[in-house]
Amino acid sequence: MDRDRRPVRGAHPVRSALFGLVLLAGCVEPADPSELPPADFALFADTVQPVYANRCANPSCHGSADRPLALYAAWQYRIDSADLWSPPPISDVELEANFDRSRALLVGLTDPGDSQLLRRPLDPDAGGADHAGGVQFGDDTDADYLAIEAWIEDALMTAETQ
């Protein structure tokens, strides 16, 4: 898969922001990935996807089509219901969907700490926000928090250089 650092061409900021909001509501699949911020796909697959699989993709959380930021993971929610509870790996299409859904949450972002990917699961006592799934990161030194933060920082630096 050669999807590293795809450039954003002709992205309209208002349309992109609305697209991100609709995606956040869990209503649609990313329709036009070319309008999403660039990010490193390999870094996402190696560092963020494992966090999603371990902490987020449970069917009672984000591992459901009914949930905002629906996420695919092995042994969890899958595109093909026949693959439900199937062992790793998830398909390329599933991984790309997780990647694009995550990139949609980067639209308009300038500070990684403002990302909902980090703020929602962070303990409110450590600066986090309300999260129906409860606290996933006790503080911003959690290794999984840092993995997501590094991916977001990389994506923001990539966007600045393009």
Mean pLDDT of the chain: 82
* Nearest CA-CA partner of 42 in 92, 8, 105, 107: 92
Burial 53-81 (b: 16+ CB within 10 A, else e): bebbbbeebbbbeebbbbbbbbbbbbeee
pLDDT tens digits, one per residue of 70-79: 999 998 989 9
pLDDT tens digits, one per residue of 11-22: 333 333 334 443
**116, two tokens:** 């909902």
81: confidence class by pLDDT, cuts 50, 70, 90: confident
Distance, CA of 50 to CA of 57 (rounded, Å) = 10
